Structure 1
Amino acid sequence: MKTLIHAIFIAFTLLLVTACSNSNSSTSSTVIHLNDNWKFSEASQNEWLSAKVPGCIHTDLLNHDLIDDPFYRLNEHDLQWIDKNDWEYKTSFIIDKSTFSKNRINITFGGLDTYADVYLNDELILKADNMFRGWTLNCKEHIKEGENTLRIYFHSPIKVGLELYDNYPYVVQSSANDLAKIGKVPGEKWVSPHVRKAPYMFGWDWGPRLVTSGIWEPISIKAWNTARLDNIHTIQNHITEQSAQLTSVFEVEANEANDATLSISIDGNILTSKKVNLKKGTHTYNVDFEIENPELWWSNGLGEAHLYQLKGELQTTAGIETFSHTLGIRSIELVRENDEVGRSFYFKLNGKPVFMKGANYIPNDVFLDRVSPEKYEHIIKSAADCHFNMLRVWGGGIYEKEIFYDLCDKYGILVWQDFMFACNMYPGHPEFLESVKHEAEYNVRRLRNHPSIALWCGNNEILGAWFGWGWKENNEKEQPHGAKAMWQAYKDIFLDVLPKAVEAHDPAKQYWASSPQAGDTIKTNKIDGDDHDWRIWFRDVPFITYHDGAARFVSEYGFQSFPELKTIKKYTIPEDYDINSEVMKSHQRSFIGNGAIKRYMDNYYRNPKDFESFLYVGLLLQAEGIRTGIEGHRINMPTTMGSLYWQLNDVWPAASWSSIDYFGNWKALQYFTRKAFSPIIAVPDTKTDDLLIYCVSDNFDDKQGRLELEIVDFEGNKLWSYQDEVKVKANTSSIIFKKPLKELLKGINTTNAVLSTKLFAEGELVYSTTSYFKEPMELNLPSPKLKVLTKKTDVGYEISISTDMLAKNVYLSFDEAEGWYSNNYFDLLPGETKTIIFETEENIEDYTSKLVVRTLNDTY
Structure 2
Amino acid sequence: MPSLDLSAARWTFRDAATKTWLPAQVPGCVHTDLHRAGKIPDPFFGTNELDLQWIEERDWEYRATFNVTRATLAEAVVELVADGLDTLATVTLNGKKLAATDNMFIGWRWDVKRRLKVGRNELTIRFASAAEFIRTHRLEHQPKEFNDPVGRCSTMRKQQCQFGWDWGPRFVSAGVWRSLRIESWSAARLTDVRVTQAHGADGVRVRVAPEHATAAKGKTEVTYYVTMDLEGKEVASAAKVTGAPGSADEATDTDAGLALHVKEPQLWWPNDHGAQPLYRVTVELRDADGAVLDRWTRRIGLRTIELERKADEWGESFAFVVNGRRVFAKGANWIPANAFVTTLARADYARDIQSAADAHMNMLRIWGGGIYESEDFYDLCDERGLLVWHDFMFACTLYPGDEAFLRSVRAEAEFQVRRIRHRACLALWCGNNEIETLNWDALKKDETRRRKYDAVFHRVLPEVVAAEDGVTPYWPTSPYRGEGRSNDYAVKELGEKTGDTHFWDVWHARHPVKDYEKWNFRFVSEFGMQSYASPATQATFCAQDDANVFGATMENHQKNRAGNQIILDYVSRRYRFPKDQDALIYLSQLNQAYCMQMGVEHYRRTMPRCMGALYWQLNDCWPVASWSSLEFTGRWKALQHVARRFFAPALVTAHVPGDEAPTIGNYRRTTVREVHVYTVYDAPEKARGTVSWELCALSGERVLQGKKAVALNYGESVKQASLDLAPAMTKYGRDNLYLRIALDIGGRVASEETVFLTPPRFVALPRAKTKVAVKWQGKTAAELTFTSDALQHRFAFEIAGAEATARSSDNYFELYPGRAKTVEVTLAKPLTAAQLKARLRWRSLADSYV
Q: TM-score, normalised by structure 1?
A: 0.91
Q: CA RMSD in A?
A: 1.8
In the TM superposition, 1:112-123 aligns within 5 A as 112-123=85-96
Secondary structure at the counterpart of residue 414 of structure 2: helix
Output aligned runs, 1:781-800, within 5 Å. 781-790=765-774, 793-800=778-785
Alignment check: 8 A CA contact 1:298 1:349 kept: yes
Structure 1, 523-532 or 405-414: larger mean CA deviation: 523-532
State the distance in 2 between where 1:472 and 1:255 align: 49
Question: Where does residue 263 of structure 2 map in the other structure?
Answer: 292
**Aligned AA for 1:277?**
G
Give the conservation status (yes or no) of the 8 Å contact 1:361–1:393: yes
Select which of 430, 435, 442 maps to 1:457. 430
Deviation at 1:744, TM superposition (A): 6.0
**Alpha-carbon shift at residue 702 of structure 1 (Å):** 4.1
Query: Residues 443 and 449 of structure 2 are in contact (CA less than 8 Å); yes or no, is this contact kept in structure 1?
Result: no
Tell me whether 1:736 sits opposite 2:707 in the alignment.
Answer: no
Which of the numbers 615, 621, 638 marks the counterpart of 1:651?
A: 621
Residue 220 of structure 2 is matched in structure 1 by 258
- 2:454 alignment partner in structure 1: 491
- The residue aligned with 1:25 is none
- Deviations for 1:205-243, whole angstroms, at most 9, x for unmatched residues? 011111110010010111111110122111012333x31
2:572 alignment partner, SS class? helix
Matches within 5 A, 1:366-377: 366-377=339-350
CA deviation string 1:678-721 (max 9, x = no partner): 00111112344432111111134543322121222334432221
The 1:613–1:105 alpha-carbon spacing in structure 2 relative to 1, beyond 3 Å, is same
Structure 1 counterpart of 2:704, one-letter code: W
**1:834 maps onto 2:834 in alignment:** no
Give the Cα separation in 1 of the matches to 2:242 and 2:812.
Answer: 63
Deviation at 1:798, TM superposition (A): 3.9
Q: Retained in 2: the 8 A contact 1:392–1:418?
A: yes
Q: 1:207 & 1:317 partners in 2: Cα distance?
A: 55
Distance apart, 1:366 and its partner CA: 0.5
**Is the CA contact (8 Å cut-off) linking 1:715 and 1:804 kept in structure 2?**
no
Tell me if 1:277 matches 2:243. yes
* Counterpart for residue 7 of structure 2: 35
Segment of structure 1 superposing worse, 252-261 or 695-704: 695-704
The structural deviation recorded for 1:138 is 1.7
> Is structure 2 residue 633 aligned with structure 1 residue 663?
yes
- 8 Å Cα contact 2:142/2:152 also seen in 1: no
Displacement after TM superposition at 1:489 (Å): 1.2
Shift of 1:728: 1.7
Task: Indicate the larger mover: 217-226 or 45-54.
Answer: 45-54
Over residues 183-214 of structure 1, what are the superposed CA-to-partner deviations in whole Å (9 max), with x where a residue is unaligned?
Answer: xxxxxxx1201011111110000111111100
1:359-370 aligned at under 5 Å gives the runs 359-370=332-343
> Which of these residues, 110, 113, 116, is aligned with residue 137 of structure 1?
110
Q: Is the 8 A contact 1:261 1:314 kept in 2?
A: yes
1:820 aligns with 2:810: no
**Unpaired runs of at least 5, structure 2:** 488-493, 659-672
- In structure 1, the residue corresponding to 2:541 is in which secondary structure? coil
The answer on 1:713 being equivalent to 2:713 is: no
Cα gap change, 1:700 to 1:848, in 2 (>3 Å): closer
Match of 1:17 in 2: none
Structure 1: distance between partners of 2:320 and 2:836:
47
Q: Does 1:237 align with 2:198?
A: yes
1:191 is matched with which residue? Answer: 152
Once the two structures are TM-superposed, the CA of residue 80 in structure 1 deviates from its matched residue by 0.3
Residue in structure 2 matching 1:227, options 180, 188, 197? 188
Cα deviation, residue 758, structure 1: 1.9
- Within 5 Å, give how 1:415-494 maps onto structure 2: 415-467=388-440, 471-472=442-443, 483-494=446-457
Match of 2:842 in 1: 853
Distance in structure 1 (CA, Å) of the matches to 2:700 and 2:295: 67
- Counterpart in the other structure of 1:590: 560
Q: Distance in 2 between matches of 1:765 and 1:358?
A: 23
Q: For 1:563-612, what per-residue CA distance to the aligned partner results, in whole angstroms no more than 9, with x for missing partners?
A: 11111111111222221111111111111311211111121111112221
Deviation at 1:64, TM superposition (A): 1.1
Query: Greater CA deviation, 589-598 or 559-568?
Result: 589-598
Shift of 1:766: 2.4
Counterpart of 1:678?
648
Distance 1:521-1:575 versus aligned 2 partners, 3 A rule: farther
**Partner residue, 1:802:** 787
Q: Of 322, 326, 329, which residue of structure 2 is paired with 1:356?
A: 329
Contact 2:436 2:443 (C-alpha < 8 Å) held by counterparts: no
Unpaired runs of 5+ in structure 1?
1-28, 181-189, 477-482
Q: Is residue 552 from structure 1 mapped to residue 527 from structure 2 by the alignment? A: no
2:167 aligned partner: 206
Tell me the SS of whatever aligns to 2:56. helix
Aligned residue type for 1:486: R
Q: Provide the C-alpha distance between the structure 1 equivalents of 2:486 and 2:95, rounded to a whole number of angstroms.
A: 52
Letter in 1 for 2:714: A
Aligned length: 809
Instruction: Name the structure 1 match of 2:351.
Output: 378
Deviation at 1:540, TM superposition (A): 2.4
Give SS of 1:264's match. Answer: strand
Native 8 Å contact 2:799 2:806 kept in 1: no
Amino acid at match of 2:382: D
How many Å apart are 1:342 and its aligned residue?
1.1
Residue of structure 1 equivalent to 2:376? 403
Deviation at 1:294, TM superposition (A): 0.4
8 Å CA contact 1:648–1:660 kept in 2: the answer is yes
Distance in 2 between the 1:170 and 1:327 partners?
A: 42
Query: Which residue pairs with 1:770 in the alignment?
Result: 754
- Within a 5 Å distance, the mapping from 1:589-628 to structure 2 comes to 589-628=559-598
Give the AA of the match of 2:278: L
Which residue identity lines up with residue 836 of structure 1 in the other structure? V
Supply the distance in 1 between the matched residues of 2:775 and 2:675 (Cα, whole angstroms): 41
Map of 1:703 onto structure 2:
687
Shift of 1:289: 1.2
Conserved 8 A contact 2:780-2:831: no
Q: Name the CA distance, whole Å, in 2 between partners of 1:533 and 1:192.
A: 26
The code of the aligned residue for 2:223 comes to T
Distance 1:578 1:804 in 2: 35
Which residue type is aligned with residue 261 of structure 2? E
Q: Is 1:205–1:591's contact at 8 Å kept on the other side of the alignment?
A: yes
Give the conservation status (yes or no) of the 8 Å contact 1:550–1:633: yes
Q: Which amino acid aligns with 1:32?
A: L
Q: What is the CA-CA distance between 1:522 and the residue it aligns to?
A: 3.4
Q: Is the 8 A contact 1:798 1:835 kept in 2?
A: yes
* Aligned mates of 2:836, 2:315 — CA distance in 1: 57
Between 798-807 and 101-110, report the one with greater CA deviation.
798-807
Q: Distance in 2 between matches of 1:88 and 1:839?
A: 46
Could you report, residue by residue, the CA deviation over 1:29-72 in whole angstroms, capped at 9, with x for unpaired residues? 31111102211111142311211111100000011111001111
User: What letter is aligned with 2:731?
Assistant: G
Aligned equivalents of 2:822, 2:21: Cα separation in 1: 55
**2:433 alignment partner AA:** N
Give the SS at the match of 1:442. Answer: helix
Aligned partner of 1:342 in structure 2 is 315
Once residues 806 and 454 of structure 1 are traced to their aligned partners in structure 2, the CA distance between those partners, rounded to angstroms, is: 43
Counterparts in 2 of 1:839 and 1:762: CA distance versus 1, 3 Å: closer
Query: 1:359: how far off?
Result: 0.3
Task: State percent identity of aligned pairs.
Answer: 36
Secondary structure in 2 matching 1:538: coil
Q: State the shift of 1:144 in Å.
A: 2.0
What corresponds to 2:670 in structure 1?
Answer: none
Q: What amino acid is the match of 1:652?
A: W
Using the size of structure 2 for normalisation, the TM-score is 0.92
CA contact under 8 A between 2:332 and 2:363: conserved in structure 1? yes
Q: Does 1:811 align with 2:811?
A: no
Give the residue type in structure 2 aligned to 1:312: V
Letter in 1 for 2:262: I
